[in-house]
Structure 1
């Protein structure tokens, strides 16, 4: 329970924008996890299915075989790239949400300065803290997400090239 209280305190200190970053982070990591599970569990079965489709082309003409191969590769590419645009968008949004948190935190600082009429460091600390926490959170989510996005993109490229090579051999 102490961990949950610490997380709740951090989310409160980061302001409302930090909750948005948390939601974006949960969505991002859910989609990244789905893609990693897809390549580990689902893709091998799909690859066998596509290779079986290719083998069952019944000695058709080269032109028909070309279109069958093209259709299989298109289906594979669409399947492998599913959710990648959403992952990329969430990675791009997180630093911007962090920047929004920075702006709202600084507005809070300026509001305190306007109300108190002075630059009391203690009264401004909450706004500055909110600004830095949300910026840090947005950047952390984006940087870690970017690593996995590139990892998945490389996996897509490698598996697509391997499938295209397998379809040429048979």
Structure 2
């Protein structure tokens, strides 16, 4: 339990070094990872059940070759595709916003540098170091947050296409 408290203090010290914008990036990252976990749960736990239900309903049909049956098949595949893509736009938006929050932190930190320069003069490098730190750390944090979401967003988009195609292929006429 001691190590957990120490890590918490390290996180708080890092956030203090980067300024208050890091709290916003941390919140954004938390929401992003909640979305990633929700989509993972859907793809690996919920969707296989939905896919099996759709396929069993299709296999139970007597008519799978008429125009009407083909429209039902298209509708079922389309509904599954919508479920597979659900939430990906929001996740992509979170990934795109993350670096912008980092840039906002850069601007915030640079404003502190300019305030220090106005008060202490331009030659006090030690006084400006804190502002420069608050300018660079949020940029790095925003980029790391975005990178952590890019992989999963790309993976989920690919998986949605593949699973839609697989579902359509498994719904054969008989």
Work out whether 1:75 is the aligned partner of 2:62: no
2:119 to 101, 115, 122: 115
1:157 to 155, 161, 164: 161
Give the aligned partner of residue 90 of structure 1: 94
Normalised by the size of structure 1, how large is the TM-score? 0.95
For the 8 Å contact 2:64–2:173, the answer to whether it is kept is no
Root-mean-square deviation (CA, aligned residues, Å) is: 1.3
Distance in 2, matches of 1:16 and 1:59, equals 62
1:2 to 2, 6, 9: 6
Give the aligned partner of residue 31 of structure 2: 27
Alignment partner of 1:168: what SS?
Answer: coil
Alignment partner of 1:53: what SS?
Answer: helix
Normalised by the size of structure 2, how large is the TM-score? 0.93
Where do 5+ consecutive residues of structure 2 fail to align? none
Deviations 1:93-125 (Å, cap 9, x if unpaired)?
000000000011011101100111233111111
- Stretch of structure 1 that moved more, 47-56 or 71-80: 47-56
Distance in 1, matches of 2:162 and 2:64, equals 28
In structure 2, relative to structure 1, the CA distance for the partners of 1:65 and 1:123 (3 Å cut) is same
